[in-house]
Structure 1
Amino acid sequence: MKNISILVPESAVAEAVSNPRYMFSAANQFLQASGSEPLFDVQLVGHQRQVKVHDGFFTVTTDKLLNEVEHTDLIIVPALFGDMKSAVGKNESTIPWLVSHYNKGAEVASLCVGAFLLASTGLLKGKKCSTHWAYYGEFRETFPDVEVTDGSIITEEGRIYSSGGANSYWNLLLLLLEKYTDRDTAIMASKYFAIDIDRESQSSFMMFEGQKDHNDEEIKKAQLYIEERYKEKITVDVLADFVAVSRRSFERRFKSTTNNTVVEYIQRVKIEAAKRAFEATRKNITEVMFEVGYTDTKAFRTVFKKITGLTPIAYRNKYQK
């Protein structure tokens, strides 16, 4: 029997608590239907019997208090709701418990922005981690000693698992189910819950809005220049001259504040514009390519796929109205 403890932190996203329980409980039914014994003992655990979640809209009744859990094989840390700093602060009492059971051999899996609570334990220090793409900047600023894996649906390192944004956590749950049972059971669950079992990237869902949460005014000025003139050919020298900073200093400061090189930032702005064109118009690939400042079809396709995980044609077919 595998003991699965679903942590119920205050301010958790309600679905990120109920869905893991639903899936592993359903897996027990799948196993029984195939003639096997149920494998999972799934329990909701928290620092009190009644925990308010989803900004107080729901209350979850836990099966056990934290101090009543003697042994567990897997701890699931659900996504948090609202302001991350405040949400983590409400759940500081869970941090020693997480660390203690990890040190006893338990695996730990965070769902979406549950990574903020997991990272607060220090267990992710020096490790890789996935989280919701919209929180990359805040996560990196809060936990500079953790490496965020851009676009990844699932990251695994040292008995610690993390997942990408929102419903991406279903893919992590399927991976864990397959690890504890077998491929057939995971496929059955993927069909039952209508999940694409082997999706590996959240890149196609990512929206690039520019990283401007910093105080370097010259770099912000350069960012706005790029975003307003993305159709033009923009060089590092042009930008450095525009903000009156030496090229070497400009490149260093740009990378430090935006977490992108200048070239990467230009590419991402252009590709974001291309994505919007594919979504909202019926323009063909060549028209969009020229519109965002590319003249080489191969180069455009290569950069587009690198950033979104899809070819321009696949993206257009997937999202065009």
Structure 2
Amino acid sequence: MLHIGILLLKHYKLLSLAALTDVLDTVNKLYQQKNEPAPFRITLVHSSDTHQMAQAFPHYGNECLQTGSRFNLVLVPSFTADNIQEAVAENAAFFPWIQQQYRQGAEIASFCTGAFLLAAAGMLDGRIATTHVDACKAFNKAFPSVNLLPDKTVTHDGGIYTSGGATSTFNLLLHLVEVHLGIETAIRTAKIFAVDMGRDKQHYFSTFQPARQHNDELVAATQDKIEQSYQEAGTIEEIIKDIPSSRRNIVRRFKQATGITPIEYLQLTRIEAAKKMLEQTGEQMTSIILNSGYNDPKAFRKVFRKTVGMTPSEYREKFNASAHRS
């Protein structure tokens, strides 16, 4: 029997915890239906600040960090707080416990933004990892020593697993079921939860969210100019020609404030506009290309695929509501 510890964190996301327990319980029931012992023993692990939360889950065992039990697998759910860094800091009591469990041979798995906790505990230094696709920028800034793979749904490095956002939780859980119980059980579980086991990328779920939390008026003016003029099929130099500064100075300050160059910002703005048209309209592809600021279909498709991870037609087929109705 695999002893699994699920962390009861401050600011944990209820949906994440529910997914973890639901999948594990379902696998246990599959074995019990065959008159076989349940493969998973589930324990909720709490700190002195979260012990009262355990009362809401009377069907599971629970213990505090100081109990000293050894686990085979430790699961870290995602956070619901807007300020993940503060949420992580409030759960610092879990850091030494996770480190000790790993030293004793436990595997560790984080889900979605739970990767921030592992990284803050030093568990991901020099390792590959992933997290929610829209949290990747903040993660990279906070933990530059981690080899973050934003497009990956699941990663595994030295007994430490991470998953991407939201429904990627199920992909990692199914992967763990396959590792410990075999592919047949994983497939049976995937069918119960209607999960596509073949999905290994998440980049197409991302949304370009321009950085505006800075006090650089020159950069803000440049951002406004790009967002207002992205449809003009011209160079970045033409778009920002009225900004009172040298190109070199703009590029330097722009990247310092936003993390990307003006030309990258322009491309992402155009691709985001194209994505919205693909999602919400039935416009011809030629019209979408022109209205998003491109005059070269080949260049548009190349940038779109590189940025989104699929072709424009594939994106429309996946996300356009009217296409699904038809």
TM-score calculated relative to the size of structure 1: 0.88
Name the stretch that deviates more: 255-264 or 147-156: 255-264
Q: AA paired with 1:311?
A: T
User: How far, CA to CA, are the matches of 1:114 and 1:273 in structure 2?
Assistant: 31
Q: Deviations over 1:132-170 (max 9, x none)?
A: 222233323333333432232222223221111122211
Deviation at 1:52, TM superposition (A): 3.8
2:226 corresponds in structure 1 to 226
- Name the structure 1 match of 2:67: 68
Give matches, 1:217-296, under 5 Å.
Answer: 217-238=217-238, 241-296=241-296
The CA RMSD over aligned residues, in Å, is 2.5
Opposite residue 313 of structure 2, the aligned amino acid is I
C-alpha separation in 1, matches of 2:31 and 2:302:
44
Matches within 5 A, 1:205-216: 205-216=205-216
Q: Which residue in 1 is equivalent to 2:324?
A: none
Quick one: which amino acid aligns to residue 211 of structure 1? A
The answer to whether the 8 A contact 1:76-1:109 is kept is: yes
When residues 69 and 27 of structure 1 are mapped into structure 2, their CA distance, relative to the original with a 3 A threshold, is: farther
**Letter of the structure 1 residue corresponding to residue 175 of structure 2:** L
Letter in 1 for 2:3: N
Could you tell which deviates more after superposition, 77-86 or 61-70? 61-70
Q: Give 1:240 shift.
A: 6.7
| Per-residue Cα deviation, 1:86-126 (whole angstroms, up to 9, x for no partner) | 32232121111011111222211111111222221011223
What stretches of structure 1 of length at least 5 have no aligned partner?
none
SS in 2 for 1:92: coil
- The answer to which of 113-122 and 36-45 deviates more is 36-45
Cα distance in 2 between the residues matched to 1:211 and 1:43: 40
- Cα distance in structure 2, aligned partners of 1:272 and 1:18: 32
User: In structure 1, what is the equivalent of residue 22 of structure 2?
Assistant: 22
Alpha-carbon distance in structure 2 between the residues aligned to 1:147 and 1:255 = 21
| Letter matched to residue 233 of structure 2 | K
The 8 Å contact of residues 225 and 240 in structure 2, kept in 1 or not, is answered as no
TM-score w.r.t. the length of structure 2 is 0.87
Bigger shift: 97-106 or 23-32?
A: 23-32
Question: 1:115 and 2:115 equivalent?
Answer: yes
* C-alpha distance after superposition, 1:217-239 (max 9, x if no partner): 33332222221111113434446
Residue range with higher mean Cα deviation, 255-264 or 98-107? 255-264
What residue is the counterpart of 1:137 in the other structure? 137
- Cα distance in 2 for partners of 1:105, 1:22 equals 25
- Secondary structure of the corresponding residue to residue 63 of structure 1: strand
* Counterpart residue type for residue 70 of structure 2: H
CA contact (8 A) 1:130 1:154 kept: yes
Moved more, 137-146 or 165-174: 137-146
When structure 1 is superposed on structure 2, of 119-128 and 33-42 the one drifting more is 33-42
Offset of 1:79 from its aligned partner?
A: 0.7
Distance in 1 separating the partners of 2:95 and 2:114: 12
In the TM superposition, 1:87-102 aligns within 5 A as: 87-102=87-102
**Contact residue 107 and residue 160 of structure 2 kept, 8 A:** yes
For residues 23 and 69 of structure 1, the distance between their equivalents in structure 2, rounded to whole angstroms, comes to: 26
Deviations 1:271-315 (A, max 9, x none): 100111122221121110111122222222222222222221122
Question: Take 1:120 and 1:204, find their aligned partners in 2: how far apart are those partners?
Answer: 27
Residue 6 of structure 1 deviates from its aligned partner by: 0.8
Q: What residue is the counterpart of 1:124 in the other structure?
A: 124
Q: CA deviation at 1:269?
A: 0.8
Pairing 1:7–2:3 present: no
Aligned counterparts of 1:161 and 1:92: Cα–Cα separation in 2: 20
Q: How many residues align?
A: 317
Contact 1:153-1:171 at 8 Å conserved across structures: yes
Q: State which drifts further: 237-246 or 78-87.
A: 237-246
